[in-house]
Structure 1
């Protein structure tokens, strides 16, 4: 469990909406944000999940460029 103690509960790290979790710590000077569900969100939109899984950057502009 990731320790979310507020209501409504944050999405779990495995959920597709995991980035909607509450911010616990923000360090823009270092390029990362820690979410309540334990996800590290990087400024390039990459993510590191609590289980060690790496989610590659997924910028909206990258998606639009391939359309």
Structure 2
């Protein structure tokens, strides 16, 4: 009988230390993390992978490399 080994989760998709451009991108823990460069964009699926390892969703929500979730933060519509 074969034993299946569960896949190991990567600790980070793209650690900030792998950011090879200048100036380096903000880390995923930084408040300005959304300023990082896009390394993979999938607009048909509604997400982009940033250089710092964060996933940015079209609804402005985020999934950080350590598994934390940032709720969508759309600006509120102006009321008349």
TM over 0.5: yes
Flag structure 1 segments of 5+ consecutive residues without an equivalent: none
Match of 1:31 in 2: 46
CA distance in structure 1 between the partners assigned to 2:24 and 2:36 by the alignment: 8
Which structure: larger Rg?
A: 2
Aligned length: 64
Write out per-residue CA displacement over residues 31-53 of structure 1, whole angstroms, 9 at most, x where no aligned residue.
00000000100000000000000
Which runs of structure 1 show a deviation greater than 3 angstroms over 4 or more consecutive aligned residues? none
Match of 1:49 in 2: 64
TM-score (norm 1): 0.87
Higher helix share: 1
Over the aligned positions, Cα root-mean-square deviation in angstroms equals: 1.5
Flag structure 2 segments of 5+ consecutive residues without an equivalent: 1-14
